[in-house]
């Protein structure tokens, strides 16, 4: 139960430190819309989404005004279309994507996630159709986000799916070449995807979730950075243990704010409240950067030696503070390091302090993985697949979620700028070492077996 003092303390933090609720995501189950007639299916999902989400934006805005906490994004996550739309072929999947896009526009939400499937052990016909449709679906729509889970710790890595996704990413980039491959910015490849993520592009409603649910994503890199600045101003010799404690206390307050907003929105909409995902997700704005936290603690830039250690400490402190504040913490809850979406991280990549290999190493301890990384347009599909496989292996072995959202920018080379606009930001294209050197490995396909869990080192 929230106390009045906690609420007032949090509101003070909001007023002075620009805390916001990054996203409120309404999860909608579409399983009872299933049909073997695509038109009937499209009509059913359109009615379901526009009916349940009709007041989502209005209610979020009302509570944002009441508490003075802006809710930046309002989104929807649906059951995986690869499952509920299993009878349909690729062209029909594109038609379904158009319907979802229309529904999203009708209720005025930012993105709708769930145009995806889970293929960690194999691909059924519906999964294949959906994967084939992804490039066109993301090209002809504006608000659709897609995700494909290709690996889990229990199942291993489906290398056939990984190989396929390299070509899908290349095709999606080519079809949106006039927008620097924008379609790829709405596509994530996952290992161990959670079922309750409110953040795009990975949001979807898992089969174990309620029929409708509100999940909240609270960010706050700017709040954490200012809290660190304050403690260092009063004690310049503060140890990392003391800084970790400050991050933990800040995460506690942020989580409380998210739960307060989420429960109120859920009650007003008459749906179940799900989880608070406390992730430090940056924006391309100055003062709201994960990279700036690294500088505040003492590094020249994110990416230089010491970065992985700081990221591990940051992630752990955020989770500890969130877990103390709420029994409903879920999703990813940690720190995102999306290159194009974080002005400071993009700057570190431009000056050479952050390279692709260091970024990959850091993903072993962060929330997600290689996120919003722009690569040369001539990077071979097999090399993209090999990059995905490396990231999936980190997730599989470490029993954590990892993902890749990589963008081969058509017609551009390393050192040139890729620009996606808005929250997706911009960044210099990072070089890829040894492109084309992974072709034989990727083409072997098959399944990389699940790891043995009893002999850990």
pLDDT of residue 15: 63
E strands present in 241-378: 272-278, 370-376
Q: Phi first, then psi: what are they for 380, rounded to 5°?
A: -65, 150
pLDDT of residue 282: 79
pLDDT at 365 over 60: yes
- Domain for residue 285, yes or no? yes
- Domain for residue 236, yes or no? yes
pLDDT digits (tens, 9 = 90+) for 223-281: 888 889 989 999 999 999 999 999 998 888 888 888 888 899 999 999 999 998 888 87
Q: What is the average per-residue pLDDT within 419-432?
A: 89
Tally of domains in the chain: 1
Question: Quick count: other Cβ atoms within 10 Å of Cβ 244?
Answer: 17
pLDDT digits (tens, 9 = 90+) for 170-205: 999 999 999 999 999 999 999 999 988 888 888 999
pLDDT at 431 over 60: yes
pTM of the model: 0.93
Q: pLDDT category, 364, cuts 50, 70, 90?
A: very high
- Domain for residue 269, yes or no? no
- Domain for residue 418, yes or no? yes
- Domain for residue 199, yes or no? no
Q: How many CA atoms lie within 13 A of 179 on its CB side?
A: 18
Q: pLDDT category, 7, cuts 50, 70, 90?
A: low
Q: What is the average per-residue pLDDT within 99-110?
A: 96
Pairwise CA distance, residues 408 & 390, whole Å:
17
Contact predicate 407/375, CB 8 Å: yes
Contact predicate 366/307, CB 8 Å: no
pLDDT at 8 over 90: no
pLDDT digits (tens, 9 = 90+) for 300-354: 999 999 999 999 999 999 888 888 888 788 888 878 888 988 889 999 999 999 9
* CATH number for the domain harbouring residue 380: 3.20.70.20
- Domain for residue 335, yes or no? yes
- Domain for residue 381, yes or no? yes
Q: pLDDT category, 22, cuts 50, 70, 90?
A: confident
Across the chain, mean pLDDT equals 91
Q: Which residues contact residue 342 at a Cβ distance below 8 angstroms, ignoring those fewer than 6 apart?
A: 282, 283, 284, 289, 290, 291, 425
Q: What is the average per-residue pLDDT within 13-38?
A: 84
User: Dihedral angle at the C-alpha atoms of 82, 372, 367, 235, nearest 10 degrees?
Assistant: -160
Contact predicate 261/66, CB 8 Å: no
Q: How much helix, strand and coil, in percent to the nearest 5, is found in the chain?
A: 50, 20, 35
Which domain covers residue 353, as residue numbers?
221-249+279-446
Q: pLDDT category, 9, cuts 50, 70, 90?
A: low
Q: pLDDT category, 297, cuts 50, 70, 90?
A: very high
pLDDT of residue 368: 82
- Domain for residue 2, yes or no? no
pLDDT of residue 18: 62
Pairwise CA distance, residues 406 & 342, whole Å:
15
């Amino acid at each position: 139960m929230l106390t009045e003092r906690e609420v007032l303390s949090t509101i003070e933090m909001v007023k002075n430190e620009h805390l916001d609720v990054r996203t409120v995501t309404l999860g909608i189950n579409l399983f009872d819309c299933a049909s073997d007639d695509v038109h009937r299916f499209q009509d059913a999902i359109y009615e379901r989404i526009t009916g349940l989400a009709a007041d989502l934006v209005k209610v979020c805005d009302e509570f944002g005004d009441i508490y003075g906490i802006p809710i930046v994004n309002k989104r929807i996550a649906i059951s995986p279309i690869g499952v509920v739309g299993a009878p349909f072929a690729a062209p029909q999947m594109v038609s379904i994507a158009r319907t979802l896009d229309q529904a999203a526009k009708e209720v005025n939400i930012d993105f709708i996630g769930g145009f995806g499937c889970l293929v960690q052990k194999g691909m059924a016909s519906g999964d294949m159709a959906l994967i084939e449709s992804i490039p066109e679906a993301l090209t002809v729509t504006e608000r659709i986000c897609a995700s494909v889970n290709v690996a889990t710790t229990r199942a291993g890595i489906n290398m056939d799916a990984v190989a396929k996704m390299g070509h899908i990413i290349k095709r999606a980039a080519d079809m949106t070449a006039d927008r620097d491959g924008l379609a790829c910015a709405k596509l994530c490849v996952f290992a161990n995807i959670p079922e309750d993520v409110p953040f795009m592009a990975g949001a979807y409603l898992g089969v174990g979730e309620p029929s409708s649910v509100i999940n909240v994503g609270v960010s706050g890199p700017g709040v954490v950075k200012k809290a660190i600045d304050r403690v260092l101003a009063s004690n310049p010799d503060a140890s990392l243990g003391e800084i970790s404690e400050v991050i933990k206390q800040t995460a506690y307050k942020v989580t409380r704010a998210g739960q307060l907003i989420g429960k109120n929105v859920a009650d007003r909409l008459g749906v179940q409240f799900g989880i608070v995902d406390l992730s430090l997700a940056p924006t391309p704005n100055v003062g709201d950067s994960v990279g700036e936290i690294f500088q505040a603690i003492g590094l020249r830039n994110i990416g230089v030696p010491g970065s992985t250690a700081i990221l591990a400490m940051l992630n752990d402190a955020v989770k500890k503070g969130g877990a103390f504040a709420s029994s409903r913490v879920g999703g990813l809850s940690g720190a995102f390091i999306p290159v194009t979406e974080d002005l400071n991280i993009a700057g570190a990549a431009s000056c050479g302090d952050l390279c692709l290999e260091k970024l990959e190493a850091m993903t072993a301890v962060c929330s997600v993985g290689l996120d919003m990384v722009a690569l040369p347009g001539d990077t071979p599909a097999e090399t993209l697949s090999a990059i995905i496989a490396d990231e999936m292996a980190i997730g599989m072995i470490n029993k954590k979620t990892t993902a890749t959202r990589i963008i081969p920018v058509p017609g551009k080379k390393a050192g040139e700028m890729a620009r996606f606009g808005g929250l997706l930001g911009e960044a210099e294209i990072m070089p890829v070492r040894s492109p084309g050197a992974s072709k034989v490995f990727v083409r072997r396909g098959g399944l990389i077996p699940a790891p043995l869990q009893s002999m850990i080192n």
